[in-house]
Amino acid sequence: MQKILIIEDELNIAELERDYLEVNGFESDIATTGEKGLELARMNTYNLILLDLMLPGIDGFELYKRLRQVLDIPILMVTARKEDIDMIRGFDRGADDYIIKPFNPNELVARVKAHISRYDRLIQREQIQNTLQIGSILIQSDSRRVFVNDEEKMFTAKEFDLLKFLVENPNIAFTKEHLMERIWGYDSLGDVNTVTVHIRKIREKIEKDPSNPQFIETIWGVGYRFMKKDRFQ
Ligand code: CA
C-alpha cells in the first residue's frame, strides 16, 4: 500500500488530509512537528510527503532542505502564504509542488496521485536505462550485477567493466590492446594476455558452451567482438 507522511501542526487539517487519503486507498502517518516528521521520514518508507510550511520549531523550508538531503520522493508543500510560492518555485525541482490553503481535499488527493505516478514512471525509466538485456544475459549497471538465465553470476570489477564495454559496443571487433586501454587505463603496463584471461572467465559465466561461444566471438589476429544478433534484440 502506498504511504504518505503528513507533516502538519494543525491536527484537524492533518486528520482531514488523512481521511481523504484513506478513502482513496492511501495509508498515512501524521507528524505534528518538524522534528517528528524528520524522524518518521528517516525510519519509514513513504511514497510522498505532505509538508505544511508553517510549523512551530523547525521552519518548513529548513525542514524541506533536511528532508531533501535524505529523500528524493515527491514533496507536496502546503501553505497559506503567497510569498512561500516564489520560494518553492525557486527550488525548481520536478518532484516538488505546492497547494494553497484552504484547499479542496479532492484536489489534494488528485495531486498526490499524479505526483506518485509521475515519480514511479521516473524510477522505472531509470531502472530500464540502468539495465542491459541481451538474450539470457541481464546486466544491472548501478548495482554492477550480472544475471544469466535469472541466476546471478559473480564478476570481478574488471570482468564486469569488460563485459559491459563489449555489450555496449556490440558487433565491433576490438583488439586486445584497445580493450586493455579501455578497461585497465592508458598507463597500465599489463600484459595483453590479461584480456584473454578475463574473456575466458567471462565466457565461463555467460556462455552455455564456453568452447563454442555465442556471445563473445574471437576474431583471430585481432581480438574480440560481442555478437548481438537480431534474435537477441
Ligand atoms: Ca501550520
Walk along the chain (233 residues) and give the pLDDT tens digit of each residue: 899 999 999 999 999 999 999 999 999 999 999 999 999 998 899 999 999 999 998 988 899 989 988 888 999 999 988 888 877 777 756 568 889 999 999 999 999 999 999 998 888 887 777 888 888 899 998 889 999 998 999 999 999 999 999 998 888 899 999 999 889 886 666 788 999 999 999 999 999 999 999 999 999 888 999 987 654 43
- Rounded distance from Cα 6 to ligand 1 centre (Å): 11
Which residue type occupies 203? Answer: R
pLDDT score of 116: 94
Cis status, amide bond into 102, omega within 30 of 0: yes
- Rounded distance from Cα 84 to ligand 1 centre (Å): 13
- Rounded distance from Cα 57 to ligand 1 centre (Å): 11
- Rounded distance from Cα 34 to ligand 1 centre (Å): 10
pLDDT score of 114: 94
- Rounded distance from Cα 99 to ligand 1 centre (Å): 13
Cell output for 112? 498526490
pLDDT score of 93: 63
pLDDT score of 156: 96
pLDDT score of 232: 41
- Rounded distance from Cα 92 to ligand 1 centre (Å): 23
H/E run at residue 47: none
- Rounded distance from Cα 69 to ligand 1 centre (Å): 22
pLDDT score of 210: 93
Contact criterion met (CB below 8 Å) for 99 and 109 = no
- Rounded distance from Cα 80 to ligand 1 centre (Å): 9
Whole-model pTM? 0.62
Angle between helices 193-206 and 176-184 (to 10 degrees): 80
- Rounded distance from Cα 159 to ligand 1 centre (Å): 55
- d(CA 100, CA 90) in angstroms, rounded, equals 17
pLDDT score of 126: 77
Taking alpha carbons only, the member of 105, 93, 87, 5 closest to residue 46 is 5
pLDDT score of 123: 83
pLDDT score of 231: 44
- Rounded distance from Cα 54 to ligand 1 centre (Å): 4
- Rounded distance from Cα 119 to ligand 1 centre (Å): 26
